[in-house]
């Protein structure tokens, strides 16, 4: 491949302008570096792109996915096990991808969690508490080699940047009323107070309390007050408009790169953001131990080389892993031998839903909803917050409730026996739309030897490069996890005393199904660890093999967690940035001895 | 929240009558229930876009851009059964769903622009791996309608649109289950897309051609594009009193 243009070398190039790319752009330009950001999608800002009333369009945004990455140009292939033929993920279903300014962070939901301290040292914890045999042989879970205390200042900072609304549950070791008593010790309160629960979450919280659980407001990156973040950027109060997940926020309330970080980057002389710039590979020198920059295709279709001393890969979990494989960085993982690391430990999340159908006298007003504001959760059955000895599985789930908008095309809860069309369907829609609610469990998924990512041998993207292939299906551990968590969710919903309760729970034998939205929380493939033989990155998100390449995002999670991932991805990005600024810039090279 | 959402795994989330002229409603109900007078249907669908009657609803004069006359007859007859005008809220035809479908066929969506459409194609893959056919939406409608009409001719000697309501329902059920002959999976895939798009047209903003008069929103009490609940955040359990608004600003009045 010959290139058409070679740009002036810069200190750092960042691939992707989503959450983690924006964080790194801020930190590296603060440090005085010359930085180029390459973003494959268009430039987008609150105005005019998310302006009311055009944004309040369910069909355009949440169904057709106008703000999402168009799969026509680049997608993934999926199969359930090695030996099967993987086929393309041709239409959106199970997860959604971002593009353009803000990435998925422009149209995410804003459920803003920290990891649990024991999520970060999962293998050690289970071995200490339950014995080595508790972890199945094929389960390849690993510790991060980073303690919660080390990450805490970065969780705290990101919450302040994002204006998160919540109630502290563990303030410097003191358990606080009304918050999550299972959270790791936090150094300060949330920067915003939570909104009062909407009816569906109030009913859930009351029922949970009746059963002896401790419900609390879901931490929401939906600002609940006029708020100015540490960068001096102002956010406005969320009005629970109902057009949140899948949409950009027209009120400057939902935290996104454009509502929290990018305003202070505008006009910085040492930052050059190029949109419609699709990176096709990271360039290496002859030793293959050093990146010299990246190659991208610009809007006019020209191949452009951008030399840089540091390459930050912030292209979202799946894309970042694919870029490493396309560039020949590190050794691709081989599921037969268990050797190699790039593509290893791919995981997803397992969700279940319990629906509550009430009488027509209960006005649920499901359209009053947000990404996370007004929601309630319990954390009793997540991480290692309960004794797993008799449970027979590793991991757990949060259980949460609240409406996200009641948008009638996609968010139309009907009992499973309701007709799918005809008069019966219409009656069911009329009867249930405004009088039902649901409670979800979002469960962790462990990593396994036979669940991984590699390059597809057949399918290519619009630039002629191989697609990334996902080999994934559920394991027995996760069916047990979801049965356990869903039984508890079911008990809570029955205590809400609706007329009818139905549950959607994956059963042993149900394969991973790409047709239905579950969560956009894919993880792994370029994982953090303590040893180059079993991980791609060291604790500072730095490639063991090519130390001037840093990889951000949930690709670094060695296994999935029972929380939404962005809080942890952002904290790891700030943690890496701090180390780059304090040490790497002074003496570039490996930050951890291999 | 996406192309094929399962509302049952998303935390989710008044009776009103259609504001279409009563004559129209009566006319449609007649065709749906008078099983023997199948002559009524062809007479209304044989001349799409044809002679304007006084009091005729706007969508009756709509000339389809993509669908052929025979396809247009199928689409109206199918939507009429998927969302019937049964006195229980607006019917799909009255709500303009066929117009919505025709317009979608001409948009990038209809041309498959949102989908990865490179081969090879493995339509026999497990269903859990998603849609794997070579056909774009507009191609799937064309092939699917033809397959459905062939099946109707074979079984009943008539095109779908000429069948009475009960027989159309039975044929739709066969399509849904992929139990029509010689369809190679096309019928079931077509039915699934038709049903999905029909619901979209019913509940999407009226500017797309369906949900005329926001009638479907009024039926369930959805306030449309209001997107402002500042005064309502702490009014737990109180029925929301305002009717819907559409994106271009029209207010629909109270449900
Ligand atoms: C619908 C939805 C709801 C979500 N809800 C939540 C939630 O409630 N809570 C939560 O914690 N998380 C949520 N998430 C996940 C959250 O959005 C991600 O965790 C977060 O955005 C990840 O940040 P990132 O920087 O890794 O990737 P992104 O924010 O996705 O940014 C990656 C960027 O890289 C760009 N890019 C990719 N490939 C290339 C290339 N080759 N060249 C140039 N640029 C490239 C992309 O276009 C994109 O802009 C949600 C996601 C979605 C889609
Ligand atoms: S629900 Fe709140 S945060 Fe979300 S888009 Fe609406 S106003 Fe913005």
User: How much is the ipTM here?
Assistant: 0.96
Asked if residue A590 belongs to a domain, the reply is no
Pairs from B172-176 (Cβ < 8 Å, separation ≥ 24): B172/A421, B172/B78, B172/B81, B172/B82, B175/B144, B175/B148, B175/B151, B176/A420
Asked if residue B116 belongs to a domain, the reply is yes
Smallest Cα–Cα separation from B74: which of B180, B183, B150?
Answer: B150
Q: Is the CB of A243 under 6 A from ligand 2?
A: yes
Pairs from A285-289 (Cβ < 8 Å, separation ≥ 24): A288/A328, A288/A545, A288/A546, A289/A545, A289/A546, A289/A547
Per-residue pLDDT for A299 more than 90? yes
Per-residue pLDDT for B7 more than 60? no
Convert the pLDDT of each residue in B35-49 to its tens digit.
222 222 222 333 333
With b meaning 16 or more CB within 10 Å and e meaning fewer, what string describes A490-513?
A: bebbebbebeebbbbbbeeeeebb
Name every chain A residue with its beta carbon within 8 A of the beta carbon of B172: 421
Percent of chain B at pLDDT > 70 equals 74
Per-residue pLDDT for B28 more than 70? no
Name every chain B residue with its beta carbon within 8 A of the beta carbon of A520: none
DSSP labels, chain B? --SS--GGGS---------S-HHHHHHHHHHHH-TT-TTHHHHHHSSTT--PPTT--GGGGPPPSSS-HHHHHHHHHHHHHHS--SSSS--TTTTTHHHHHHHHHHSTTTTTTTS---S---TTS-GGG----S--HHHHHHHHHHHHHHHHHHHHSS-GGGS-HHHHHHHHHHHHTT-STT-TTHHHHHHHHHHHHHHHHHHS-GGGS-SGGGHHHHHHT--BT----GGGTT-TTPPP----B-TT--B----
Separation of CA A107 and ligand 2 centre (Å): 10
Asked if residue A591 belongs to a domain, the reply is no
**Average pLDDT, stretch A508-523?**
97
Per-residue pLDDT for A83 more than 90? yes
Per-residue pLDDT for A374 more than 60? yes
**A154 classed as catalytic:** no
Name every chain A residue with its beta carbon within 8 A of the beta carbon of B89: 426, 430
Q: Is the CB of A238 under 6 A from ligand 2?
A: yes
Per-residue pLDDT for B2 more than 50? no
Asked if residue A369 belongs to a domain, the reply is yes
Smallest Cα–Cα separation from B27: which of B73, B105, B80?
Answer: B80
Percent of chain A at pLDDT > 70 equals 100
User: A28, A327 in Cβ contact below 8 A?
Assistant: no
Per-residue pLDDT for B255 more than 60? no
Q: What is the mean pLDDT of chain B?
A: 79
pLDDT band at A2 (very low <50, low <70, confident <90, very high): low
Asked if residue A589 belongs to a domain, the reply is no
User: A447, A346 in Cβ contact below 8 A?
Assistant: yes
Convert the pLDDT of each residue in A385-435 to its tens digit.
999 999 999 999 999 999 999 999 999 999 999 999 999 999 999 999 999
Q: How far is A76 from chain B (nearest CA, A)?
A: 10
Would you state the pLDDT for residue B251?
73
**How far apart are the C-alpha atoms of A517 and A96, rounded to whole Å?**
8
Would you state the pLDDT for residue B60?
64
Chain B touched by A431 (CB under 8 Å): no
**How far apart are the C-alpha atoms of A45 and A40, rounded to whole Å?**
16
Would you state the pLDDT for residue B61?
83
Q: Which of A63-72, B9-18, B159-168, B191-200 has the lowest mean pLDDT?
A: B9-18
Tell me how far CA of residue A15 lies from CA of A2, A69, A78, A551, B238, in angstroms.
21, 15, 24, 10, 48
Cβ separation of B9 and A72 shorter than 8 Å? Answer: no
- For residue A455, the surrounding DSSP H or E stretch is strand A452-460
**Both tokens of residue A488?**
């508890």
Exposed/middle/buried for residue A47 (C-beta within 10 Å: 0-12, 13-18, 19+): exposed
Asked if residue B46 belongs to a domain, the reply is no
Convert the pLDDT of each residue in A251-275 to its tens digit.
999 999 999 999 999 999 999 999 9
**Average pLDDT, stretch A540-565?**
98
Asked if residue A592 belongs to a domain, the reply is no
Tell me how far CA of residue A257 lies from CA of A16, A25, A103, in angstroms.
12, 11, 8
Smallest Cα–Cα separation from B58: which of B21, B18, B27?
Answer: B21
Per-residue pLDDT for A186 more than 60? yes
Asked if residue B52 belongs to a domain, the reply is no
Smallest Cα–Cα separation from A259: which of A164, A369, A194?
Answer: A164
Q: What is the mean pLDDT of chain A?
A: 97
Convert the pLDDT of each residue in A37-80 to its tens digit.
999 999 999 999 999 999 999 999 999 999 999 999 999 999 99
Tell me how far CA of residue A272 lies from CA of A8, A12, A13, B142, in angstroms.
12, 11, 10, 48
Cβ separation of A403 and B12 shorter than 8 Å? Answer: yes
Convert the pLDDT of each residue in B113-134 to its tens digit.
999 999 999 999 999 999 999 9
**How far apart are the C-alpha atoms of A467 and A88, rounded to whole Å?**
9
Cβ separation of B1 and A245 shorter than 8 Å? Answer: yes
pLDDT band at A210 (very low <50, low <70, confident <90, very high): very high
**How far apart are the C-alpha atoms of A112 and A157, rounded to whole Å?**
13
Partner residue facing B8 (CB), from A80, A355, A401: A355
B106 vs B26, more confident: B106
User: A540, A550 in Cβ contact below 8 A?
Assistant: yes
Give the residue on B whose Cα is nearest the Cα of A244. B227
Separation of CA A372 and ligand 1 centre (Å): 17
Per-residue pLDDT for A364 more than 70? yes
Give the residue on B whose Cα is nearest the Cα of A416. B8
Range of the domain at B137: 69-222
Name every chain A residue with its beta carbon within 8 A of the beta carbon of B112: 72
pLDDT band at A104 (very low <50, low <70, confident <90, very high): very high
Per-residue pLDDT for B146 more than 90? yes
Asked if residue B7 belongs to a domain, the reply is no
**How far apart are the C-alpha atoms of B95 and B74, rounded to whole Å?**
17
Domain count, chain A: 1
Q: Residue B184: left (phi > 0), alpha (psi -120 to 50), or beta?
A: left
**How far apart are the C-alpha atoms of A337 and B73, rounded to whole Å?**
60
- For residue A500, the surrounding DSSP H or E stretch is strand A500-504
Give the residue on A whose Cα is nearest the Cα of B238. A363
User: B123, B132 in Cβ contact below 8 A?
Assistant: yes
Would you state the pLDDT for residue B234?
86
pLDDT band at B184 (very low <50, low <70, confident <90, very high): confident
Asked if residue A594 belongs to a domain, the reply is no
Smallest Cα–Cα separation from B75: which of B174, B159, B133, B170?
Answer: B159
Kindly give the number of the ligand 1 atom that is closest to the alpha carbon of A38. Answer: 43
Site to probe by mutation for ligand 2, drawn from A243, A246, A374, A375 as the one with most ligand atoms within 8 Å of Cβ, is: A243
Would you state the pLDDT for residue A197?
95
Chain A touched by B124 (CB under 8 Å): no
Indicate yes or no: pTM above 0.90.
Answer: yes
Would you state the pLDDT for residue B170?
97
Name every chain A residue with its beta carbon within 8 A of the beta carbon of B240: 363, 365, 367-368
Convert the pLDDT of each residue in A139-183 to its tens digit.
999 999 999 999 999 999 999 999 999 999 999 999 999 999 999
- The residues that bridge with A68 in the sheet, in sequence order, are A98
Q: How many CB atoms lie within 10 A of CB A335?
A: 18
Strands (E), A224-302: 227-228, 234-235, 271-274, 278-284, 291-297
Would you state the pLDDT for residue B57?
52
Asked if residue B28 belongs to a domain, the reply is no
Q: Is the CB of A327 under 6 A from ligand 1?
A: no
**How far apart are the C-alpha atoms of A528 and A429, rounded to whole Å?**
47
Kindly give the number of the ligand 1 atom that is closest to the alpha carbon of A314. Answer: 25
Range of the domain at A460: 5-584
Asked if residue A367 belongs to a domain, the reply is yes
Site to probe by mutation for ligand 2, drawn from A62, A254, A366 as the one with most ligand atoms within 8 Å of Cβ, is: A254
Report the relative pairing of strands A303-313 and A466-471 from DSSP bridges.
Answer: unpaired
* DSSP code for A314: -
**How far apart are the C-alpha atoms of A370 and A410, rounded to whole Å?**
15
Cβ separation of B83 and A421 shorter than 8 Å? Answer: yes
Per-residue pLDDT for B26 more than 70? no
Domain count, chain B: 1
Chain B touched by A153 (CB under 8 Å): no
Kindly give the number of the ligand 2 atom that is closest to the alpha carbon of A242. Answer: 1
Angle, in degrees to the nearest 10, between helices B137-156 and B186-203: 120
Smallest Cα–Cα separation from A493: which of A419, A444, A441, A442?
Answer: A441
**Both tokens of residue A593?**
């001895």
Asked if residue B251 belongs to a domain, the reply is no
- CATH code, domain carrying A216: 3.50.50.60
Interfacial A residues in 508-537 facing B (CB < 8 Å): 511-518
Asked if residue A298 belongs to a domain, the reply is yes
Would you state the pLDDT for residue B25?
29
């Amino acid at each position: 491949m010959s290139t058409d243009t070679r740009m002036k070398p810069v200190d750092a190039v960042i691939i992707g302008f989503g959450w983690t790319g924006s964080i790194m752009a801020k930190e590296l330009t603060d440090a005085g570096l010359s930085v180029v950001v390459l973003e494959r999608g268009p430039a987008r800002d609150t105005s005019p792109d998310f302006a009311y009333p055009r944004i309040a369009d369910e069909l355009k945004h949440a169904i057709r996915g106008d703000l999402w990455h168009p799969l026509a140009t680049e997608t993934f292939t999926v199969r359930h096990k090695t030996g099967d033929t993987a086929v393309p993920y041709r239409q959106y279903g199970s997860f959604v991808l971002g593009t353009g300014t803000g990435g998925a962070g422009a149209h995410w939901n804003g459920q803003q969690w920290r990891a649990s301290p024991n999520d970060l040292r999962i293998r050690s914890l289970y071995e200490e508490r339950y014995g080595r045999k508790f972890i199945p042989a094929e389960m390849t879970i690993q510790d991060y080699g980073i303690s919660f205390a080390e990450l805490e200042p970065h969780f705290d900072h990101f919450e302040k940047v994002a204006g998160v609304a919540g109630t502290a549950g563990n303030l410097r070791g003191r358990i606080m009323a009304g918050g999550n008593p299972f959270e790791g010790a936090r150094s300060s309160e949330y920067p915003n107070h939570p909104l009062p629960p909407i009816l569906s979450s109030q009913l859930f919280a009351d029922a949970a309390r009746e059963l002896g659980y401790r419900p609390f407001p879901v931490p929401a990156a939906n600002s609940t007050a006029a708020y100015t973040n540490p960068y001096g950027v102002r956010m406005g109060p969320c009005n629970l408009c109902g057009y949140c997940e899948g949409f950009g926020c027209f009120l400057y309330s939902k935290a996104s790169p454009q509502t929290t970080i990018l305003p202070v980057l505008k006009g910085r002389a040492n930052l050059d953001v190029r949109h419609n710039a699709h990176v096709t590979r990271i360039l290496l020198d002859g030793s293959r131990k050093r990146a010299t920059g990246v190659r991208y295709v610009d809007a006019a279709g020209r191949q452009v080389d951008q030399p840089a001393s540091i390459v930050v890969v912030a292209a979202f979990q799946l894309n970042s892993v694919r870029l490493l494989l396309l560039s020949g960085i590190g050794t691709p993982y081989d599921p037969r031998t268990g050797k190699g690391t790039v593509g290893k430990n791919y995981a997803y999340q397992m969700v279940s839903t319990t629906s509550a159908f009430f009488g027509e006298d209960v006005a649920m007003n499901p359209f009053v909803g947000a990404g996370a504001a007004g929601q309630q959760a319990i954390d009793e059955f997540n991480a290692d917050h309960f004794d797993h000895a008799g449970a027979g599985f590793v991991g757990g789930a949060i259980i949460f409730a609240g409406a996200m908008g009641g948008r009638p095309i996609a968010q139309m809860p009907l009992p499973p026996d309701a007709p799918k069309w005809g008069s019966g369907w219409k009656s069911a829609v009329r009867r249930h739309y405004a009088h039902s609610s649901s409670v979800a469990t979002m469960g962790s998924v462990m990593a396994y030897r036979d669940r991984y990512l590699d390059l597809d041998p057949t399918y290519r993207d619009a630039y002629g490069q191989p697609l990334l292939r996902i080999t994934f299906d559920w394991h027995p551990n996760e069916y047990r996890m979801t049965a356990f968590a869903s039984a508890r969710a079911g008990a809570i919903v029955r205590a809400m005393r609706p007329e009818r309760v139905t549950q959607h729970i994956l059963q042993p034998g149900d394969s991973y199904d790409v047709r239905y939205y579950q969560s956009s929380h894919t993880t792994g493939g370029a994982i953090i660890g303590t040893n180059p033989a079993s991980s791609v990155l060291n604790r500072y998100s730095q490639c063991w093999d090519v130390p001037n390449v840093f990889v951000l995002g949930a690709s670094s999670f060695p296994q999935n967690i029972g929380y939404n991932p962005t809080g942890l991805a952002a904290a790891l990005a700030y943690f890496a940035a701090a180390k780059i600024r304090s040490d790497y810039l002074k003496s570039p090279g490996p930050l951890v001895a291999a | 929240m996406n192309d094929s959402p399962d509302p049952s795994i998303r935390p989710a989330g008044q009776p009103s009558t259609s504001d279409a002229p009563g004559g129209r409603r009566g006319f449609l109900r007649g065709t749906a229930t008078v099983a023997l007078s199948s002559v009524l249907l062809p007479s209304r669908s044989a001349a799409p876009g044809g002679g304007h009657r006084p009091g005729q609803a706007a969508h009756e004069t709509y000339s389809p851009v993509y669908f052929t006359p025979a396809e247009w007859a199928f689409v109206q007859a199918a939507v009429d059964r998927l969302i019937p005008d049964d006195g229980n809220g607006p019917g799909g035809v009255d709500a303009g769903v066929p117009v919505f479908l025709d317009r979608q066929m001409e948009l990038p969506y209809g041309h498959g622009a949102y989908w990865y459409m490179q081969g090879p194609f493995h339509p026999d893959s497990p269903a859990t791996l998603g849609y794997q056919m070579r056909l774009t939406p507009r191609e799937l409608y064309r092939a699917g309608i033809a397959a459905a009409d062939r099946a109707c001719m074979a079984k009943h000697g008539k095109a779908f649109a000429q069948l009475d309501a009960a027989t159309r329902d039975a044929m739709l059920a066969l399509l849904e289950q992929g139990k029509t002959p010689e369809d190679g999976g096309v019928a079931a895939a077509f039915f699934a897309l038709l049903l999905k798009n029909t619901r979209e047209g019913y509940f999407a903003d009226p500017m797309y051609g369906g949900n005329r008069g926001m009638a479907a929103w009024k039926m369930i009490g959805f306030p449309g594009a209001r997107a402002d609940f500042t005064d309502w955040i702490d009014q737990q359990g109180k029925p929301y009193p305002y009717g819907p608004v559409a994106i271009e600003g029209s207010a629909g009045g109270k449900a």
